[in-house]
Chain A
Amino acid sequence: MKFEPVIGIETHVELTTASKMFCGCPVEFGAPPNTNVCPVCLGLPGALPVVNHTAVEYAMKIGLGLQCEIAPHSVFSRKNYFYPDMPKNYQISQYDLPLCIDGYIDIETDEGSARVGITRVHMEEDTGKSTHLGAGGRIGAGSQTLLDFNRAGVPLMEIVSEPDLRSAVQARAYAEEVRGVVKRLGVSDVKLEEGSMRFDANISLRPEGASTFGTKVEVKNMNSLRSVQRALEYEIKRQAAVLEAGEEVVQETRHWNEEDGTTAAMRSKEEAFDYRYFPEPDLVPIAVDEAWRSEVASGLPELPAQARERYRAQGLEPTTAGLLSREVDLGRVFEDAVGAGADARTVANWLTGEVTAWLRKESLLLPDSHLDGAALAELEAMVGAGDLSATAAKDVLGGVLSGEGRPAEVAESRDLIQVSDSASLEPAVDAVLAANSDAFEKLKSGDHKVMGFLIGQVMRSTGGKADPAAVTRIINERAG
């Protein structure tokens, strides 16, 4: 039997506001443990929360960026459960009346394009962090647990999608697109590896053509975009095997294990918490009037979907346009380079190819490198003028990224300037033709397959600096 996966994704986003959701403590990654804390975020007796106005605006931006309606009246609730790194043993969250509802985003994959509904975007506070000493790092197993409350109370947004996704590839594309939107909005640093953006998925399978949903499983601990796809591919196979064996999928929460590429049961439905939500009596409802909403809306930057359209119009491939639209730093350099007269496709390919690979290798972000749009445009002009070969250009790019200088300076110092004038090249060509007379004879008798070999020999003898086009022209002249 063929099965259709039904997937919905919950995305948690930590905001980069200056202070926490309900107190004045700084939001800062990597501070010494328990230094960014106060009576409010430690849940000390008597302390009361006060809503961070900027966090509400950031949440509104996310909602507007995901085409949501902003509720004129929304309410915080208490989500009750005991956990040692949650200071109050309830989390202030939103429940039945969230800030943002009914949005969507469009995604594009090799499987085509799709619109994914956004059920809601709501605000909550993050928990602290537990470090379990000894025995595999799982709670209960170790002898000691250390608690750091620096993260407790950091503003956290939860973005809940409709169960509109039908494949692991779509799920990844959705996650990428949401990340791109949030990144362009500048409200989070969206670092998956540091946990400032986290994805959980609900996934069930049903026979193709069925209209009811199967039993769903929640998958947690997917710490990269790639692991979203891998985990869901695994889970689809696992559930299909269960169903094909005539068994039933167990409703449970499963933990993705990146190392062995499997999911494992964490807790079953019976063990699931009853969160006993009720309206948070320490806070008053959030009222958003039209004036506030439109003020925030008017300050929104261009969204990935809009940027992607512009890039497509400049002749970029869908994948390239998509990447540049989501990675706002790349997009900005791209636009600067094109603005300075560079060819859009060449520059885009460098950015999504060599530049991205270099950044990944060096573990750097684009703003940390020495590359800017003007440098890319200069480089592209040198190639266009025949001063650099395509291969040498990539070499120069590496030098520019690592701060060796402007493209011309790097090309000069690395001795990569291409030689294309006949007077300089003819002696080298003639030497090669003389040394390879057999091949040259074959060429003259119409066997053009040897041309590549001959050009290669000239390139080698000139240390790669010869312009292949010029070399071809001279060989053809000699062949008569």
Chain B
Amino acid sequence: MTDLADLTLSEATSGLQGGEMTAVELLEAVHRRATMTEAQLHAYLNIDRPGAARAAVAADSALGKGAAVSKLTGIPVALKDNLVTRGLETTCSSKILAGYLPPYDATVVGRLREAGSVIVGKTNLDEFAMGSSTENSAYGTSRNPWNPERVPGGSSGGSAAAVAVGSALAALGSDTGGSIRQPASLCGIVGMKPTYGLVSRYGLIAFASSLDQIGPLTRTVTDSVTVLEALAGYDPADSTSHPGAVPDFRAGLERGVAGLRIGVVSELSGEGIDPQVQAAVARMVTSLEGEGAKVTEVSLPSFEYALSAYYLIAPAECSANLARFDGVRYGLRRDGDTVEEMMANTRAEGFGPEVTRRILLGTYALSAGYYDAFYGQAQRVRTLILNDFDSAYGQVDVLVSPTSPTTAFEVGARATDPLAMYMSDVCTIPSNLSGHPGISVPVGLDDAGLPIGFQVMAPALGEEVLFQVAAEVERIAGFSERPALANSRADI
């Protein structure tokens, strides 16, 4: 008998709606999986057993009555802990928010609840989503379910590890420079960053407002579509929310890639990319061509500056976004003789080294006399990147690349070298700067048995073609391996 924790979201939806199982049973399976894996993985900061149990019972009641239900009714979903949840501790993996109980739900959390999903708990992340390994969490590093010596990626590493191991059937993450796609790649699951504005940011604790976007982490492309369908759509509480129609995410899933024009980004191949990753991506491109896609190599020269621009814009925005954590109204407070001293003491103790580094970088980049050379210049690079994307999308329908230059690295390997860590996001950052959608789909394992992710990028609101290509990549790859930890059976 299959352990229910190993079901994909779609399989679980069928099972729940077909009366083959209950939401309570499904939740119990997920809880058992968590119980067996958390000691090693530490995917969660906080598992809300009572809240989830209530939601599961309510879901069963709705399912039993034959009331209107959604594909997410009764589905256990994990939330990255930078999404605020009413009455449920939300810390951003930072000491500065220890014990913080938000008085409201993020828009996406509300939408998941309305859809009947069961919130399992809050997952670990790099503090304030700043990092690519979850090693920057103030509450301990999450581990990769494929090999607990390795990082799960980040910053949505807890969400990725939970979905990969089966302690949630889906999870939400946030992606500012690759924080959904990179951990999905390292954990062998599907991670998707929607077009900027498609999903409301209201209730996402901001890292870099102009780059942050919430998206799903799931086992399959179809599941990614299902979750995104529940999340996407205009929210009057977010001024940057897209007011127009939401694309039809599902329309292209069965369409294949025949006739589609696929561009391979030359700047994201070769140098700096692990040879095994490079080879897996090349094999997939060849297969797509075999399925009738027209493949060309496309150059986007401004990508060379993307990382530098990102590390000015993101810290600049974060330096303002994180100013509110001052000990005055909520969270940690460390007293001082004056109010300034109290704020300084609170922030010095509350923020970890990476967050402090970025606040300082951003403060410097915005300072009088430096603004134009740093922040101003970075914004001009951003425009160049957008122009490069626009001209590329004049020639091709989608762009493809590796998601991450390497597979999961060892815990501690890059912890003392910020620049090496920053390189983890070199393939994903351009889509954040342009606001375009991107998705990572697992295509195989390297010699060390670690997953390799394949990235598809599309123009703004091009989710239909994005999912169309991603579904075909998934079908071709036929990736069905499960991480070793997921095989710790509940019924032993």
Chain A interfacial positions (CB closer than 8 Å to B)? 39, 42-51, 78, 80, 82, 84, 87-90, 139-140, 145, 147, 274, 276-278, 281-284
Q: Are A276 and B363 in contact (CB under 8 A)?
A: yes
**In-complex Cβ contact of B368 among A47, A51, A88, A274 (8 A):** A274
Chain B interfacial positions (CB closer than 8 Å to A)? 83-84, 90, 92, 97, 100, 102-104, 106, 201-206, 208-210, 236-240, 316-317, 319-320, 323-326, 328-330, 338-340, 343, 363, 366-368, 371, 375
Q: Are B324 and A284 in contact (CB under 8 A)?
A: no
Within 8 Å CB of A50, what residues of B?
Answer: 236-239
Given the complex of chains A and B, what is the CA–CA distance between A80 and B208 in angstroms? 15
**In-complex Cβ contact of A46 among B202, B317, B319 (8 A):** B202
Within 8 Å CB of B239, what residues of A?
Answer: 48-51, 282-284
Interface SS of chain A: loop
Q: Are A48 and B320 in contact (CB under 8 A)?
A: no
- Can you spell out 22 A-B residue pairs with CB atoms less than 8 angstroms apart? A39-B103, A39-B104, A43-B324, A44-B103, A45-B97, A45-B205, A45-B330, A47-B203, A48-B238, A51-B239, A80-B366, A82-B343, A84-B339, A139-B339, A276-B319, A276-B320, A276-B366, A276-B371, A277-B366, A278-B371, A281-B240, A284-B240
Within 8 Å CB of B238, what residues of A?
Answer: 48, 50
> What's the nearest-Cβ distance from chain A to residue B435, in Å?
11
Query: Given A45-B102, A278-B366, A283-B239, does the pair A90, B329 have CB atoms closer than 8 Å?
Result: no
Q: Are A145 and B366 in contact (CB under 8 A)?
A: no
**In-complex Cβ contact of A140 among B106, B325, B338 (8 A):** B338
Query: Given A46-B106, A88-B324, does the pair A278, B375 have CB atoms closer than 8 Å?
Result: yes
Within 8 Å CB of A278, what residues of B?
Answer: 316-317, 320, 366, 371, 375
Q: Are B366 and A42 in contact (CB under 8 A)?
A: no
In the complex, residue of chain A having the shortest beta-carbon distance to the beta carbon of B128: A45
| Residue of A46, A47, A140, A277 most packed against chain B (CB within 10 A) | A46
Q: Are B339 and A46 in contact (CB under 8 A)?
A: no
> What's the nearest-Cβ distance from chain A to residue B53, in Å?
26
In the complex, residue of chain B having the shortest beta-carbon distance to the beta carbon of A273: B368
> What's the nearest-Cβ distance from chain B to residue A341, in Å?
54
Given the complex of chains A and B, what is the CA–CA distance between A90 and B209 in angstroms? 14
| Residue of A39, A42, A45, A87 most packed against chain B (CB within 10 A) | A45
Q: Are A140 and B339 in contact (CB under 8 A)?
A: yes
> What's the nearest-Cβ distance from chain B to residue A36, in Å?
15
Within 8 Å CB of B102, what residues of A?
Answer: 39, 44-46
Q: Are A44 and B330 in contact (CB under 8 A)?
A: yes
Within 8 Å CB of A281, what residues of B?
Answer: 208-210, 240, 317
Q: Are A147 and B328 in contact (CB under 8 A)?
A: yes
> What's the nearest-Cβ distance from chain B to residue A357, in Å?
45
In the complex, residue of chain A having the shortest beta-carbon distance to the beta carbon of B376: A278
Within 8 Å CB of B103, what residues of A?
Answer: 39, 44
Within 8 Å CB of A282, what residues of B?
Answer: 206, 209, 239-240
Given the complex of chains A and B, what is the CA–CA distance between A282 and B212 in angstroms? 11
Within 8 Å CB of A39, what residues of B?
Answer: 102-104
Within 8 Å CB of A88, what residues of B?
Answer: 320, 323-324
> What's the nearest-Cβ distance from chain A to residue B257, in Å?
35
Within 8 Å CB of A44, what residues of B?
Answer: 84, 102-104, 329-330
Interface SS of chain B: loop
In the complex, residue of chain A having the shortest beta-carbon distance to the beta carbon of B204: A46
Within 8 Å CB of A43, what residues of B?
Answer: 324, 329
Given the complex of chains A and B, what is the CA–CA distance between A80 and B367 in angstroms? 10
Within 8 Å CB of B84, what residues of A?
Answer: 44-46
In the complex, residue of chain A having the shortest beta-carbon distance to the beta carbon of B97: A45
Q: Are B326 and A84 in contact (CB under 8 A)?
A: yes
In the complex, residue of chain A having the shortest beta-carbon distance to the beta carbon of B209: A281
| Residue of A39, A42, A78, A278 most packed against chain B (CB within 10 A) | A278
Within 8 Å CB of B323, what residues of A?
Answer: 80, 82, 88-90
> What's the nearest-Cβ distance from chain B to residue A170, in Å?
32
Given the complex of chains A and B, what is the CA–CA distance between A169 and B240 in angstroms? 47
Query: Given A51-B239, A88-B324, A284-B240, does the pair A276, B368 have CB atoms closer than 8 Å?
Result: yes
Given the complex of chains A and B, what is the CA–CA distance between A84 and B363 in angstroms? 19
> What's the nearest-Cβ distance from chain A to residue B13, in Å?
29
> What's the nearest-Cβ distance from chain B to residue A390, in Å?
61
Within 8 Å CB of A48, what residues of B?
Answer: 201-202, 237-239
Given the complex of chains A and B, what is the CA–CA distance between A277 and B203 in angstroms? 24
Given the complex of chains A and B, what is the CA–CA distance between A274 and B369 in angstroms? 10
In the complex, residue of chain A having the shortest beta-carbon distance to the beta carbon of B84: A46
Within 8 Å CB of A47, what residues of B?
Answer: 202-203
Within 8 Å CB of A145, what residues of B?
Answer: 339
Within 8 Å CB of A89, what residues of B?
Answer: 320, 323-324, 326
Given the complex of chains A and B, what is the CA–CA distance between A80 and B365 in angstroms? 13
Given the complex of chains A and B, what is the CA–CA distance between A44 and B366 in angstroms? 24
| Residue of A43, A50, A281, A283 most packed against chain B (CB within 10 A) | A281
> What's the nearest-Cβ distance from chain A to residue B335, in Å?
12
Within 8 Å CB of B83, what residues of A?
Answer: 46
Given the complex of chains A and B, what is the CA–CA distance between A46 and B206 in angstroms? 6
Within 8 Å CB of B204, what residues of A?
Answer: 46
Within 8 Å CB of B106, what residues of A?
Answer: 46
Query: Given A39-B103, A283-B239, does the pair A82, B326 have CB atoms closer than 8 Å?
Result: yes
In the complex, residue of chain A having the shortest beta-carbon distance to the beta carbon of B326: A89
> What's the nearest-Cβ distance from chain A to residue B364, in Å?
10
> What's the nearest-Cβ distance from chain A to residue B129, in Å?
12
Given contacts A46-B204, A87-B329, A282-B239, 12 further A-B contacts (CB under 8 A): A42-B329, A43-B324, A45-B92, A45-B100, A80-B366, A82-B340, A84-B343, A87-B324, A89-B320, A90-B320, A278-B371, A283-B240
Closest 10 CB pairs of A and B: A89-B323, A276-B366, A281-B209, A281-B210, A46-B203, A45-B205, A46-B84, A43-B324, A274-B368, A88-B324
In the complex, residue of chain A having the shortest beta-carbon distance to the beta carbon of B106: A46
Within 8 Å CB of A78, what residues of B?
Answer: 320
> What's the nearest-Cβ distance from chain A to residue B365, in Å?
9
In the complex, residue of chain A having the shortest beta-carbon distance to the beta carbon of B322: A89
Q: Are B324 and A276 in contact (CB under 8 A)?
A: no
Q: Are A46 and B205 in contact (CB under 8 A)?
A: yes
> What's the nearest-Cβ distance from chain A to residue B199, in Å?
13
Given the complex of chains A and B, what is the CA–CA distance between A282 and B239 in angstroms? 7
Within 8 Å CB of B202, what residues of A?
Answer: 46-48
**In-complex Cβ contact of B367 among A42, A276, A283 (8 A):** A276
Given the complex of chains A and B, what is the CA–CA distance between A89 and B104 in angstroms? 21
> What's the nearest-Cβ distance from chain A to residue B325, in Å?
8
Given the complex of chains A and B, what is the CA–CA distance between A433 and B316 in angstroms? 94
Q: Are A274 and B90 in contact (CB under 8 A)?
A: no
Given the complex of chains A and B, what is the CA–CA distance between A42 and B102 in angstroms? 12
Within 8 Å CB of B206, what residues of A?
Answer: 46, 282
Within 8 Å CB of B240, what residues of A?
Answer: 281-284
Within 8 Å CB of B92, what residues of A?
Answer: 45
Given the complex of chains A and B, what is the CA–CA distance between A7 and B191 in angstroms? 59
Q: Are A45 and B324 in contact (CB under 8 A)?
A: yes
